[in-house]
Structure 1
């Protein structure tokens, strides 16, 4: 089970024109919005990545507005976030060992980041409805590859209620508003 004190969210490259042309882009943005806002209710730290933003563009404006409440973007040039020194240093300095992984593209940057996280001892939870690729077949292949290597599969709603554990309180009411 996920434990809020042991979790960190990693948001991979939801930026530029690519963020608008991936499969079900609008739905992806809705799920990411709910997830980020939900995790902020638990005070879960967030590491937000951008792949070559000067060339590929910045994070989608609506997602960036939500993320800037908790963090600033980390630039990277490698497909895997682990290869970015700033990311690796920040994550390594955190006590959290459960990584909640989301972003685009599922079969490239999310996949390679996941592989490095698993190799370095992080329990990695792939939020499948908060990932996407330009082609659905590539997204599905990326998910299968990560699961075969030990990543755990979840979705936004299951994850938020797993963290919440009880159907009472103000946070539960706030979570209900986010997913409806």
Structure 2
């Protein structure tokens, strides 16, 4: 793939992935409210443009559901998970169906679930974008190390 194509994000070839933005993380995550605001903007834009949204929730029985500030009712899938990567069978089935070239990831935590999801999607040949202001971790250091 040519480097000039790496930045192109089109509605027809892209999926948005929202990773584990859940109620119990609120007190523990650096800049949580800012991340939620950025995720909300992306989710709204994606809905308007017709970009499919895939959502995961890490152990929702213990960590709660996706925060109510984020409207994910239009999501193609909202999948529970108990592993780091978002690429669980329910998400994988939607990816196989849609066959997106580009994946845009937002959510928590940068150095664990977001990073593992990005690695899994890159290994499958997707172009991956991680939205810096829509991703965080418990500490700023973990967040910045994940971006590196």
TM (norm. structure 1) is: 0.75
More helix by share: 1
1:49-72 C-alpha deviation (Å, 9 max, x unpaired): 111101211111111xx1113444
1:12: how far off? Answer: 0.4
Report what 1:67 is aligned to: 72
In structure 1, the residue corresponding to 2:50 is in which secondary structure? Answer: coil
Q: Tell me, in whole angstroms, the C-alpha distance in 1 between the residues paired with 2:86 and 2:119.
A: 10
1:93 maps to which of 88, 94, 97: 97
Report what 1:26 is aligned to: 33
Aligned alpha-carbon RMSD (Å):
1.2
Tell me which stretches of 4 or more aligned residues in structure 1 moved more than 2 Å.
69-72
Report what 2:144 is aligned to: 140
1:95: how far off? Answer: 2.5
Report what 2:109 is aligned to: 105
Report what 1:48 is aligned to: 55
Structure with greater Cα Rg: 1
**How many residues are paired up?**
141
Q: Tell me, in whole angstroms, the C-alpha distance in 2 between the residues paired with 1:97 and 1:16.
A: 31
Report what 1:78 is aligned to: 83
In structure 1, the residue corresponding to 2:26 is in which secondary structure? Answer: helix
Q: Tell me, in whole angstroms, the C-alpha distance in 2 between the residues paired with 1:93 and 1:3.
A: 17
1:35: how far off? Answer: 0.9
1:72-131 C-alpha deviation (Å, 9 max, x unpaired): 41111111112x111111112112120011110000000011100000111101111000
Give ranges in structure 2 of 5+ residues lacking alignment.
Answer: 1-7
Q: 1:55 to 1:81 in 2, by over 3 A?
A: same
